[in-house]
């Protein structure tokens, strides 16, 4: 017990000294520098696989969790027996939990219809959230060279210049480029090669993109010998930190919810909830509001999950930056919890929306 | 949209991936588990029904057994009763037989006694007659016909017995 406490204190002190706080006092040897954070998923390769399509790191993470889920389920049901064992037991427990929940919300008959979607949503979200905090996610990747990065920035500037010229305005191209580069900082990696791991080191090891550009223009090299500058583009990034993923799940969920609504209530009854001429103008506006709320559901689904998981990733990165070694530990636990809760919320809301969509308003009111 | 990272290729890729997962999980996970759970619940229901049936059956057989025991008990009691009655009758018969036996024995004894007594009386009477004849011969000193004499005495004795009796 005392040993553990001492070890914890040593780790804490080393972490604090090596982290971003210690960096201000001349230490800071362990800090993982704040990576280049962006909302959009990073493209893993420099080239497009198909015109307009490049594989992103969230896609790879999505496929990884899909493959893992399928493998686990395959082994769970490969030798399915009446007396359950091991994985089968686990999946049956989850299955029964959800079917009981669904039956309590939607009744026995509809529960069986809704269950596959609800469970798929839960399993996929929880799997990708939990895989997203594994080591290797967001830390191993391709090194995007400064030239490549600046080239992309220049392309964007050219576009803006063209637009400005069409309007007849004159712009300072260099100033635009500087603002486009912003406060992007290149990390430095040891050795050659295009694959890198998030480096340890001080914040002061990083090189500002603007400085790099100026140095290049003056023919100088500010990158130390034997090192290369660049931006790490991780191969894997938690699937739900991409709006496309969460939007895709939300769209599938809401499309199926309304499909069930149409199938159960009939086309015109279900449509009549949203476009209602029969009961006067007030009900017409109520219908319009209902329609808007359906769109709002998609948006809230999308951004609730995305926001929670993205914020979690940022939190983990920030803690690794501030207190390396152990600062991240309690937040890993928190992220496990958040990942589970978000998966549960998404699936439960799908279930509730589905059971609400398959009940006609007339039956609800009376 | 661009700043958020929403783009059509990415969205379509994720949609397709999720739908593929949905379909495959349906085939690999939900179908077998649903089937298994249904199968199991059917089996449980079946065994519960069977247990119920067996319970009923055992209750019935217990009742039957009780009935049989009761029947045997009454039968046994009847048999005991019968035996008792028979024994009673047997005893009474035996006693009656013994009683009649004793009666006949006693009658026989009585008749024997009477006969003995009559014989004794007869003997005595004969002795007495002879004695009287002898005595009378001596008294009369006259020889009389012995047979006529005896007749005379018999006649006297007869008269005396009649007169006495």
Identify whether B144 is part of a domain.
Answer: yes
Q: Which of B1, B5, B26 to mutate to test the interface with A (most CBs of A within 10 A)?
A: B5
Q: What whole-number distance in Å separates Cα of residue A43 and Cα of residue B17?
A: 18
pLDDT at A361: 66
When CB atoms are compared, the residue of A53, A92, A252 closest to B9 is A53
pLDDT digits (tens, 9 = 90+) for B87-137: 999 999 999 999 999 999 999 999 999 999 999 999 888 888 888 888 777
Q: What whole-number distance in Å separates Cα of residue A238 and Cα of residue A42?
A: 12
A223 dihedral zone (left: phi>0; alpha: psi -120 to 50; beta): beta
Sort out which chain A residues have CB atoms less than 8 A from B45's CB and list them. none
Annotation says A304 is catalytic: yes
Annotation says A89 is catalytic: no
pLDDT under 70: residue ranges of chain A: 28, 32-33, 201-203, 361-366
pLDDT at B139: 72
Identify whether B69 is part of a domain.
Answer: yes
What residue numbers bound the domain in which B50 lies?
8-164
Which tokens in the block code for residue B27? 């085939």
Identify whether B1 is part of a domain.
Answer: no
Sort out which chain B residues have CB atoms less than 8 A from A66's CB and list them. 17, 20-21
Distance from CA of B49 to the nearest CA of A (A): 19
Q: What whole-number distance in Å separates Cα of residue B83 and Cα of residue B81?
A: 5
pLDDT at B141: 62
pLDDT at B45: 94
pLDDT at B22: 95
Q: pTM here? A: 0.76
Identify whether B13 is part of a domain.
Answer: yes
Which tokens in the block code for residue A166? 């069409």
Identify whether B3 is part of a domain.
Answer: no
Q: How many separate domains does chain B show?
A: 1
Identify whether B111 is part of a domain.
Answer: yes
User: Which residue among the candidates A304, A347, A355, A360 is catalytic per the annotation?
Assistant: A304
User: Which residue among the candidates A100, A104, A293, A300 is catalytic per the annotation?
Assistant: A300
ipTM of this model? 0.87
């Amino acid at each position: 017990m005392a040993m553990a406490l001492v070890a914890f204190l040593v780790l804490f002190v080393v972490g604090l000294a090596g982290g971003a706080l210690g960096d201000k006092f001349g230490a800071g040897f362990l800090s993982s520098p704040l990576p280049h954070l962006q909302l959009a998923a990073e493209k893993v390769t420099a080239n497009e696989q198909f015109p307009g399509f490049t594989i992103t790191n969230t896609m790879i993470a999505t496929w990884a969790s899909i493959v893992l889920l399928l493998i686990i389920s395959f082994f769970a049901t490969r030798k399915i027996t009446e007396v359950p064992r091991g994985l089968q037991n686990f999946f049956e427990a989850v299955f029964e939990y959800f079917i009981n929940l669904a039956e309590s919300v939607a009744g026995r008959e509809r529960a069986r219809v809704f269950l596959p979607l609800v469970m798929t949503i839960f399993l996929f979200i929880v799997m990708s959230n939990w895989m997203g905090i594994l080591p290797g996610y967001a830390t191993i990747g391709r090194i995007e060279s400064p030239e490549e990065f600046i080239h992309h920035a220049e392309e964007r500037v050219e576009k803006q210049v063209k637009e400005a010229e069409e309007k007849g305005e004159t712009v300072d191209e260099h100033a635009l480029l500087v603002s486009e580069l912003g406060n992007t900082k290149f990390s430095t990696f040891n050795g050659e090669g295009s694959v890198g791991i998030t480096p340890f080191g001080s914040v002061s090891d990083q090189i500002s993109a603007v400085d790099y550009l100026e140095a290049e223009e003056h023919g100088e090299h500010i990158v130390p010998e034997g090192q290369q500058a660049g931006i790490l583009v991780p191969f894997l990034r938690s699937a739900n930190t991409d709006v496309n993923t969460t939007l895709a799940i939300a769209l599938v969920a809401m499309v199926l919810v309304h499909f069930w609504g149409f199938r159960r209530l009939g086309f015109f009854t279900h449509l009549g909830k949203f476009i209602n001429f029969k009961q006067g103008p007030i009900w017409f506006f109520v219908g319009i509001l209902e329609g808007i709320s359906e769109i709002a559901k998609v948006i809230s689904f999308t951004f609730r999950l995305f926001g929670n998981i993205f914020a979690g990733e940022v939190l983990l990165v920030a803690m690794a930056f501030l207190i390396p070694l152990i600062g991240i530990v309690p937040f890993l636990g928190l992220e496990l919890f958040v990942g589970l809760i978000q998966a549960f919320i998404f699936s439960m809301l799908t279930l509730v929306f589905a059971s609400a969509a398959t009940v006609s308003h007339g039956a609800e009111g009376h | 949209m661009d700043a958020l990272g929403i783009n059509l290729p990415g969205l379509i890729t994720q949609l397709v991936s999720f739908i593929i997962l949905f379909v495959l999980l349906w085939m690999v996970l939900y179908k077998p588990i649903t089937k298994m759970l249904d199968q199991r619940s059917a089996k449980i229901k079946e065994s519960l029904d069977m247990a119920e049936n067996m319970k009923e059956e055992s209750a019935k057989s217990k009742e039957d057994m009780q009935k049989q025991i009761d029947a045997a008990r009454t039968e046994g009691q009847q048999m005991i009763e019968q035996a008792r009655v028979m024994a009673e009758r047997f005893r009474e018969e035996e006693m009656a037989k013994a009683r009649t036996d004793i009666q006949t024995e006693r009658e026989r004894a009585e008749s024997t006694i009477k006969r003995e007594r009559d014989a004794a009386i007869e003997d005595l009477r004969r002795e007495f007659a002879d004695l009287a004849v002898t005595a009378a011969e001596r008294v009369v000193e006259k020889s009389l016909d012995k047979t006529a004499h005896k007749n005379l005495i018999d006649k006297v004795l007869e008269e005396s017995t009649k007169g006495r009796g």
